[in-house]
Structure 1
Amino acid sequence: MTATVRGARVVLRGFGWRHATRRAPALSSIDLVIEPGERVLLLGASGSGKSTLLQALAGLLGDDEGDAGGSLEVEGGTRGLVLQDPESQVILSRVGDDVAFGLENLAVPRQEIWPRVRAALDEVGLDVPLDRPTSALSGGQQQRLALAGVLAMRPALLLLDEPTANLDPEGVQEVRRAVGEVVAQHPVTLVVVEHRVELWHDLVDRVIVIAGGGVAIDAPAATVFTDHADQLCELGIWTPASSGLNGSQGAARPMGPGNAPRALGDHPPLLAADDLTVSRTPGAAVRGGIHAEVRAGRCLAITGPNGSGKSTTGLTLAGLLPPEDGLVQASEGLRQGASAQPHRWRSRELLTRVGVVFQDPEHQFLSTTVRAELEVGLKALRMPKSEADARVTELLKRLRLEHLAEANPFSLSGGEKRRLSVATMLATRPQVLVLDEPTFGQDAATWRELVSLLRELLDAGTAVVAITHDERFVAALADDVLHLDRNEGSLATAGAAIDDGSRARP
């Protein structure tokens, strides 16, 4: 972004929006003025309407998708939006072409396009060839690609919807640094939605909190987390203290009488990987030399940078991908007469043995309502209706989805979709649960509830494998950590001391 761009002015008067599939409005009677060059952090609980407001500012809410009220005006310049799901913004098959797509639609002269493409990729730290297939990028790399495509257009209004959600710590800092450099060099107007408030509180000058469909708090960033701390806590919103800023993580962890130290004991291995090499497609190994055990009643966290093969490893352990080389072996107690190699199991054999939550929740939705989605696995198990209803009702309540029971899963917010995808796997109570970024998009309250629920499963003997960048989650639940760098993977025990066979839970 070498040329100076003037920021846009945003004016909302009594603005409201109701999705076509919902009775209650997502937003109502919003009055806001955002001046050119202002930097705004937009906060709210999961499902509060933050992403809906961002899409409205981007001009993406069509008349056939719902009903609008009041007025919304964006004065001056191009709008650029990075969505929650980066995969939904990938358009073309090669990295360079994808970043150039927006510039071509803006009729930018050809001689300017490729320098701007390269500059944008450098700004977000996506160091890959321009002809790299976009299908070969990890979720975190796709996030950087989406941001590069927006920055290349030099928008007057820059809208970011959880831009660091699927990034490793290094990628998080690169994206934060890139956005910081952009707003420092150009007076663009910035509105960012993010649960990681510690990343943005010193970059923004204003914090707006959405609750109950309207504006609950509108205050300077310098004072909002002190002057409104109690209200933010009541709304379940992360604050710099609860997010772990300045080394404090205590408030982020699940609290309550059920969090006494848990005796881990000598839990048997259910799955074991021996000198495992993993790949998405045969003949294209992602990484090798992986040794790991998945034990009953223990949580194995798989960590590492984007593109290191975390998700591929998780899917291979779960039996959804065959090993490229080496072995994944299931114990007799897990396989119960089925093949010793999970990738040879039929779908019905997987159902109560291994449950998988994909990085993109929408990839596993099959039904038209949230309740029906939770019933899919239970119907496949031919569970009696009364028992199935009780299990579904419990999950809806625990994961704060009761009010969405009849909503279409695809109409939920990103955080709600994540909780639903986890709930669909919890419903069948598999012996092994593999979760890819389980805490994505969660506010402080739903994060605690999700962690508490997983802890109960661990206490009951379920094995949990979590692919995650969430250091809070690792600190709260992980018994073992498989860290994958860009070379080899090896299993390391989490925590400083587990000599006595137990680990205190926070």
Structure 2
Amino acid sequence: MTAQSALTPSAPPHPVAVGIEGWGWRHGSRRAWALREVGLRIEPGERVLLLGASGSGKSTLVRAIAGVLGADEGESEGSIRLGGALPSAARGRAGLVLQDPDSQVVLARVGDEVAFGCENLGVPREEIWHRVREALELVGLDVPLDRSTSALSGGQKQRLALAAVVAMRPGLIILDEPTANLDPDGVMQVRDAVARVVEQTGATLVVVEHRVAAWEPVVDRVIVLADGGVVADGAPEAVLRDRGEELADSGVWVPGHRPTWPPRATRPRGSVLVSTDDLVVARVPGRPIAEISHLEVTEGAATAITGPNGAGKSTLGLTLAGLIPPASGMVVPSSALADGQRGHPHQWPSRALLTRLGMVFQDPEHQLLARTVRGELEVGPRALGLAESEIAARVEELLHRLRLDRLAEANPYTLSGGEKRRLTVAAALATRPRVLVLDEPTFGQDARTWAELVALLARVREEGSAVVTITHDLDVVEALGADSFVLGGSS
């Protein structure tokens, strides 16, 4: 019988200490080290918020602590210990929840998903199902065990992922931006679920987040990464008060320090480029998600599509961008946008879409195609048959504006989540579409890159293109002076 299965149903996990000495990591395709000479001690039961600018190594560090950085992915130095053991030898002692809930769901039914980790740890069957129910109750996910995991909203899936970790009873819970793509209610639901879990289990907590204000009441320590190492470490109120201005300047989201917003629009709005007529959208044929009676997308203006998780915002975006057909009704392009193309946008050839309707997916990895960052930015312009000099000029401008210069020759898959997002936005902008549809464009961004990305979208708007942003980030809506279209639905 394993140590995990020896637990009684009411026995809490043993909180795990984390010891890091001289640790560093270099991705296989990089010359520079992502982190180096990191030294930390996290005591059992501590609740740590790990902060840092985009690309500072936060995700790399927590994945190393969780033992999921593969030796073939890069080079490491120094040591990490969980309660004195290597992460690879501390099976079941650490549980990791990632920012994308869809990437963590393995099985088709809720109960099976929560039970999966326990089964891998050899927990007896009768104990597993007690833990499954206990974990679902603890995270506040009140759904039948046979509920389809694909039918859950984003917030529900994130609580499901947390329940699957809780059921294994790890002594260390690690969360890597668990609320990045959630609506405000979903953020608080997940935050409150985590607070209940650590309060009742006593587990050590390490959470990576940009939403400092939401997590500050839950944690008792803040650690900040920058320039490949630890630059601040202490009580939240001390670090955020004493180092607040300095941290904000480096890109850390600090409560009370708002990033710069772009100037208000000065260019007069133009004509309608795309509209809808009694549109019904569906990701799967025959299963409509949302009805949109009328929506207009205007040149030289920004439109924000908001609403709760599960309302159909992403599906509407894909339909507007011509990537999936309407379930019924119409997406109507103007004659100026169609420019000789016939039919609905989803019937147009892909090359025609490049300069008319650009789409940035919610998950950046769903649209990465090339081996290098530079190559990724060259894909669209090259498909258009542009001259090499024009391709080079566009690519260099975007690399600079989105702080991707130093990563030009890096493999896109080794970038941080925020860097991948900026890359996919840049790749869409490289073909200069008349309408740009972006699904959660600011997720994973630090305060500095958020401001730069929003300024870039404002510039696209000022140049006469239409910007459609699907977002839970209400600051983006206000900063862009966007028309707000609220899509209803259940969270």
TM-score (norm 1): 0.90
Q: Which residue in the other structure is 2:83 paired with? A: 75
**Does residue 176 in structure 1 map to residue 215 in structure 2?**
no
CA RMSD in angstroms, aligned pairs only: 1.7
Q: Deviations over 1:234-275 (max 9, x none)?
A: 311100113xxxxxxxx23425xxx1x324644211111122
**Does residue 130 in structure 1 map to residue 133 in structure 2?**
no
Q: Deviations over 1:400-452 (max 9, x none)?
A: 11111111111111111111011100100100001000001000000000000
**Alignment partner of 1:305 out of 303, 308, 311:** 308
Indicate how the Cα distance of structure 1 residues 389 and 40 shifts in structure 2: closer, same or farther if over 3 A, else same: same
Q: Please say if residues 205 and 222 of structure 1, whose CA atoms lie closer than 8 Å, have aligned partners that are also in contact.
A: no
| Secondary structure class of the residue paired with 1:391 | helix
Residue 53 of structure 1: how far off its partner (Å) = 0.3
Q: Which residue in the other structure is 2:111 paired with? A: 96
Comparing 193-202 and 61-70, the one that deviates more: 61-70
Q: Which residue in the other structure is 2:386 paired with? A: 383
AA of the residue aligned to 2:58: K
User: How many Å separate the matches in 2 of 1:72 and 1:287?
Assistant: 48
Q: Which residue in the other structure is 1:247 paired with? A: none
Residue 70 of structure 1: how far off its partner (Å) = 1.1
User: How many Å separate the matches in 2 of 1:375 and 1:476?
Assistant: 30
Indicate how the Cα distance of structure 1 residues 416 and 140 shifts in structure 2: closer, same or farther if over 3 A, else same: farther
User: How many Å separate the matches in 2 of 1:129 and 1:429?
Assistant: 47
User: How many Å separate the matches in 1 of 2:240 and 2:93?
Assistant: 32
| Secondary structure class of the residue paired with 2:294 | strand
AA of the residue aligned to 1:46: S
Q: Please say if residues 282 and 327 of structure 2, whose CA atoms lie closer than 8 Å, have aligned partners that are also in contact.
A: yes
**Alignment partner of 1:485 out of 473, 483, 488:** 488
1:164-243 mapped onto 2 (5 Å cutoff): 164-242=179-257
Residue correspondences, number: 475
Structure 2: segments with no counterpart, 5+ residues: 1-8, 85-91
AA of the residue aligned to 1:232: L
| Secondary structure class of the residue paired with 1:155 | coil
| Secondary structure class of the residue paired with 1:291 | coil
Q: Which residue in the other structure is 2:426 paired with? A: 423
Residue 137 of structure 1: how far off its partner (Å) = 4.2
Q: Deviations over 1:309-330 (max 9, x none)?
A: 1101111111111111111100
| Secondary structure class of the residue paired with 1:192 | strand
Q: Which residue in the other structure is 1:49 paired with? A: 57
Residue 168 of structure 1: how far off its partner (Å) = 1.0
**Alignment partner of 1:413 out of 416, 423, 434:** 416
Indicate how the Cα distance of structure 1 residues 199 and 285 shifts in structure 2: closer, same or farther if over 3 A, else same: same
**Alignment partner of 1:106 out of 121, 130, 147:** 121
Q: Which runs of 4+ in 1 moved over 6 A?
A: none
Q: Deviations over 1:81-102 (max 9, x none)?
A: 0123332222223232122111
User: How many Å separate the matches in 2 of 1:472 and 1:336?
Assistant: 34
User: How many Å separate the matches in 1 of 2:244 and 2:183?
Assistant: 28
Q: Which residue in the other structure is 2:261 paired with? A: 254
Residue 478 of structure 1: how far off its partner (Å) = 4.2
| Secondary structure class of the residue paired with 2:397 | helix
User: How many Å separate the matches in 2 of 1:482 and 1:311?
Assistant: 13
Q: Which residue in the other structure is 1:27 paired with? A: 35
User: How many Å separate the matches in 2 of 1:130 and 1:287?
Assistant: 26
Comparing 375-384 and 287-296, the one that deviates more: 287-296
| Secondary structure class of the residue paired with 1:262 | coil
User: How many Å separate the matches in 1 of 2:121 and 2:380?
Assistant: 47
Q: Which residue in the other structure is 2:336 paired with? A: 333
1:368-379 mapped onto 2 (5 Å cutoff): 368-379=371-382
Q: Please say if residues 282 and 324 of structure 1, whose CA atoms lie closer than 8 Å, have aligned partners that are also in contact.
A: yes
User: How many Å separate the matches in 1 of 2:482 and 2:26?
Assistant: 44
User: How many Å separate the matches in 1 of 2:390 and 2:470?
Assistant: 31
